[in-house]
Structure 1
Amino acid sequence: MNTGGTPALRLEAVRKIYGSGDGAVTALDGVSVGIQRGSFTAVMGPSGSGKSTFLHCAAGLDRPSSGKVLLGETELGGLRERALTELRRTRIGFVFQAYNLLPSLNVLQNITLPMRLAGKKPDARWLREIVDGVGIAKRLEHRPAELSGGQQQRVAIARALITRPEVVLADEPTGALDTRTARQVLDLLRTVVDQMGQTVLMVTHDPVAASAAHGVLFLADGKLAGHLPQPTPERVAQRLTHLGEW
């Protein structure tokens, strides 16, 4: 695990307040954290702890009320909307609980869509490495409806990797999958980090999912509430209990 150099992603004293006056809600309250390149980090916390806001700010989907978000050396707050859209398309990969594949496109077209939107041709060698790596090389002509949930999530991971992004943001990527399939997808994400050198940041509510990561960040009431290296499901669950999760 590479811990040197500039972090892939940094949040510096990020606050996010929704609404104003008496109705104002502080979703993130001065969060500072660096996500190292080549690491797999899970983000956990009770409902309302700020997990989704954390991910949205990290992705440039939400602008912080104050503080900075940096992808490598690029401060997201300094970018106009068009530049931010371009950055999200090329430098960040996204994996969602609901897969978000386009039903009218086949697997290969879904995977290469970010490249086509950016007006670029995918690198054939990298494409082959990804589809072999995620185990869908024999499914490229299929439509999403012909695939299982686990296969669709593999396609979504391949799509997230096609632009060789600096960081992959995964939002509850195993939330819609059964236990065995979820394990396969988590093993795949870990492989993507350990063998391809990718950086993955995953929001999850599941201690077993979190235990696939190198480390877990805990949020509570919009603040960072600790870090657990080399997590096990038991240690994650125990830490969450202290945060008032269960």
Structure 2
Amino acid sequence: MPEKRLTELRRSRVGFVFQAFNLVGALDVAQNILLPSRLSGRRPEPDWVAEVIARVGLGDRLRHRPAQLSGGQQQRVAIARALVTRPEVIFCDEPTGALDTRTAAAVLALLRSVVDQFGQTVVMVTHDPVAASYADRVLVLADGRIVRDMAQPGAERIAGHLALLGRRQPVASREG
């Protein structure tokens, strides 16, 4: 696919949430959230934008710059930015890695809700068993290979499998 088409695809059908929030410091919260729409030249749906902003709980921070926000607030801006274009899939790279436990739980609940309420797909890379436990399906990777495939595991079960990785040579399996 040509680079221009790939860029258009990413802007319209894929959302990204990075561990490093990748917010533009010169823009305020509202401008950061609307940046993908602005870059694509598409007008966002005002009702959807308002709902996304309400869901991330930043309605009172829309004119603040990223430097004026906590880490959790910055991550919620990044999530809102990923959601505002209504992508089919959202890729998250350690979205709670830099957050405190309470803020991480709120971010994970928000990501879970976009799956449950809006049918969006969230693909998350994490080393955190608690974060992974929010998923419908967890794939454990070791040395670039899938070594465990679990449906709706709890954090304890995930942590147990991760602990075993260093003790023995893992064998790929699928669990229900």
Q: Name the structure 2 match of 1:107.
A: 29
3-state DSSP of counterpart to 1:164:
coil
Deviations 1:73-114 (A, max 9, x none): xxxxxx111111111111110001111100110111000100
Unaligned runs of 5+ in 2: 168-176
**Counterparts of 2:55 and 2:100, CA distance in 1:** 21
Q: Name the structure 1 match of 2:135.
A: 213
Question: How far did residue 235 of structure 1 move?
Answer: 0.2
Q: Name the structure 1 match of 2:45.
A: 123
Q: 2:120 aligns with which of 180, 191, 198?
A: 198
Single out whichever of 234-243 and 150-159 deviates more from structure 2: 234-243
**Counterparts of 2:20 and 2:146, CA distance in 1:** 27
Identical positions, percent: 64
**Counterparts of 2:47 and 2:106, CA distance in 1:** 24
Question: How far did residue 193 of structure 1 move?
Answer: 1.2
- 1:117 maps to a residue whose letter is L
- 2:73 maps to a residue whose letter is Q
Question: How far did residue 226 of structure 1 move?
Answer: 2.2
Q: Name the structure 1 match of 2:17.
A: 95
Q: Name the structure 1 match of 2:145.
A: 223
Q: Name the structure 2 match of 1:163.
A: 85
Q: Name the structure 2 match of 1:177.
A: 99
- Trace 1:62-101 onto structure 2 (pairs within 5 A): 79-101=1-23
Deviations 1:10-62 (A, max 9, x none): xxxxxxxxxxxxxxxxxxxxxxxxxxxxxxxxxxxxxxxxxxxxxxxxxxxxx
**Counterparts of 2:10 and 2:122, CA distance in 1:** 15
Q: Name the structure 2 match of 1:7.
A: none
**Counterparts of 2:141 and 2:7, CA distance in 1:** 27
**Counterparts of 1:229 and 1:92, CA distance in 2:** 24
**Counterparts of 2:158 and 2:110, CA distance in 1:** 21
Question: How far did residue 162 of structure 1 move?
Answer: 1.0
Q: Which structure dedicates a bigger proportion of its chain to helix?
A: 2
- The number of aligned residues is 168
3-state DSSP of counterpart to 1:155:
helix
Single out whichever of 113-122 and 217-226 deviates more from structure 2: 217-226
Q: Which structure dedicates a bigger proportion of its chain to strand?
A: 1
Question: How far did residue 116 of structure 1 move?
Answer: 0.6
TM-score between the two structures when normalised by the length of structure 2: 0.91
- 2:91 maps to a residue whose letter is L
TM-score between the two structures when normalised by the length of structure 1: 0.66
3-state DSSP of counterpart to 2:42:
coil
**Counterparts of 1:118 and 1:129, CA distance in 2:** 21
Q: 1:243 aligns with which of 126, 140, 165?
A: 165
**Counterparts of 1:231 and 1:100, CA distance in 2:** 31
Question: How far did residue 163 of structure 1 move?
Answer: 0.9
**Counterparts of 1:236 and 1:244, CA distance in 2:** 14
Stretches of 4+ aligned residues off by more than 6 angstroms: none
Q: Name the structure 1 match of 2:154.
A: 232
**What's the C-alpha RMSD, in Å, of the aligned pairs?**
1.5
